[in-house]
Amino acid sequence: MAILNRLPSKERLIRQGMSIEGHCLLCHNENETGDHLSAECVFAIKSVEQVLLLCNINRTMANWQLEFDWICSKLKEKDLIIVVSKLAWNAFIYVI
C-alpha cells in the first residue's frame, strides 16, 4: 500500500467521505498524509532513524522516493544487517 501511495492516511479517508480530524496523531503538527507519515513527521523520522542506528546504519531520512529507492537497493544484499533492516522497514510501513 505504501509503495502505491495508498496508505489509509487521514487525508485519504477524508477525501473518501469520512468525517474525522486530519491532524497527525504522532506529532500533532501537520495534517496526516502519506508523505507526511513516511518522510515529514518528526516522530516517524526519529523512530526510523533509531531503528537504523540499532542496525548500525547512520542515515538521516530524506523524502519518500529517495528512501524507497535506497531501501530497494539495499534489499538485494543478504547479510544480517540487511535482513534486520528489511524487518524494520516492513514494521515501519505496517505501523504507519
| pLDDT tens string 28-69 | 889 888 878 777 888 888 887 887 787 777 877 777 778 778
Mean pLDDT for all residues in the chain: 78
Domain ranges, residue 91: 35-95
Q: Is the residue at 13 inside a domain?
A: no
- Asked if 39 and 26 count as a contact pair (C-beta separation under 8 A), the reply is no
pTM of the model: 0.59
Q: Is the residue at 15 inside a domain?
A: no
Name the more confident of 32 and 86. Answer: 32
Question: Distances from the Cα of 42 to the Cαs of 7, 30, 37, 54, 58, in angstroms?
Answer: 18, 10, 9, 18, 17
Q: Which residues on adjacent β-strands are paired with residue 91?
A: none
- Asked if 48 and 72 count as a contact pair (C-beta separation under 8 A), the reply is no
Q: Is the residue at 1 inside a domain?
A: no
Number of domains in the chain: 1
Q: Is the residue at 8 inside a domain?
A: no
- Residues of the chain with pLDDT > 90, as a percent, come to 2
